[in-house]
Amino acid sequence: MEKAKILVVEDEGVLARGIERKMTALGYIVTGIAFSGEEAIRKAAENRPNLVLMDIKLDGKMDGVEAARQIREKFKIPVVYLTAFSDKETIRRAKITEPYGYILKPVNERELHCNIEIALFKHNIEAALLRKEEMEAIGIFSIGITHDFMNLIQMIDGFIEGATVNCHVVDNERKCMPLLERAGKNLRKAAELVKLYQEIFKGDPLFKRPITLSDLIKKAIDQVPALKELKISCRLEAGETLFPLSGDADRLEEVFAHLLRNAVEAMAGKEEDGQITISVNDVPVEPENEWLLKEGPYVKISIQDQGIGISAENIKKLFIPYFSTKDDFTRKGMGLGLTLCYSIIKRHEGHIEIKSEKGKGTTVDVFLPATGD
């Protein structure tokens, strides 16, 4: 079995060499020693170790928590903290980086060995599960694409065949032209699908400009006539001190309209009239946060429905292309809407997440970065 490679990050030279000797004695390969956070990131990029053993208080401007965050975000390398600090604030910051262990100094070899082995095993299992989920997502996406295009191709082929047969008959243009028109219509649908795929996975440049969020949401509401048809009320609760925003108004309107349509569909089967609540609030985002957003002021838009809800298992899959909780996801665009929403919000440097409980409704939270005063 190949030996695991460890990067040691410790700013005290004597301690660093002692940890290196312990690692070697335990059968690991020490790829290097870093004395600062900046050096740790550089050596992680160069050597790609299997694990980083990270001190928290380091020389330089960057401490171990920030270095661990960047290493996790950029390289997906697991980090185990080895530190003398156990105060609440340090632990709070460390937890956000999702470490694979937190060991207090001084440490003996057995404790160190056990923590490293568990961390390596856990990371390998998680990586395997992630690969499995990615392959399942690719499979769902491939099936969806194939189904969409095969349906369109078969319809186009049938229309062209019918037109060809009828065009051989003299003066039968009236039968021929409608078939060709329908073939052309389905070709345009295929082109729209291609454009949708490009929008999700590449995306045209965003046309950003200052936006008034309340006006944008009202336009999105107008795009969902089913709200009135099903007598579902839509209440907008917008704070008075909203941070200014800049974004692509058309794309964001598309996002909120789709989220509202999903909310309506979730409530359509309920006998009593329901309500969708849209709340808008200013929220500060801390330097280390669970969404991996940049620090600063954000506007949080929450869309809460009273629908049937979503199971915890399905919530994890909602942004996978072509995954759908609906029985029939074979119609054009079915299963791609949330993937497109995710893509647009991420390109705005924001975040979207869904919270739900079966039978108790769903809340979708969208975070968009403010542009300053």
Task: Write the pLDDT tens digit of every residue in 223-282.
Answer: 988 888 888 888 888 776 678 899 999 989 999 999 999 899 888 766 566 889 999 999
- With a CB cutoff of 8 Å and minimum separation 6, the contacts of 235 are 275, 276, 277, 278
Rg of the chain on CA atoms, in Å? 27
Instruction: Check if the beta carbon of residue 99 is closer than 8 Å to that of residue 79.
Output: yes
CATH numeric code, 209-369: 3.30.565.10
- In the block, tokens 């979503």 appear at 310
Show the tokens assigned to 183. Answer: 């073939």
Pick the CATH number of 5-107 from 3.20.20.60, 3.40.50.2300, 1.10.3720.10, 3.30.200.20: 3.40.50.2300
| Lowest mean pLDDT across 39-43, 130-134, 274-278 | 130-134
- With a CB cutoff of 8 Å and minimum separation 6, the contacts of 323 are 137, 140, 317, 329, 335
Instruction: Check if the beta carbon of residue 364 is closer than 8 Å to that of residue 264.
Output: no
Q: Where in 225-348 does DSSP place strands (E)?
A: 233-238, 245-247, 275-285, 296-304
Q: In what order do the strands lie in the sheet with 5-9?
A: 29-34, 5-9, 51-54, 79-83, 101-104
Q: Beta-carbon neighbour count of residue 234 at 10 Å?
A: 21
Model-level pTM?
0.57
Collapsing DSSP to helix, strand or coil, 224 comes out as: coil
- d(Cα 214, Cα 299) in Å, to the nearest integer? 12
What is the domain partition of the chain in residue ranges? 5-107, 137-201, 209-369
The 10s digit of each residue's pLDDT in 300-310 is: 999 999 888 88
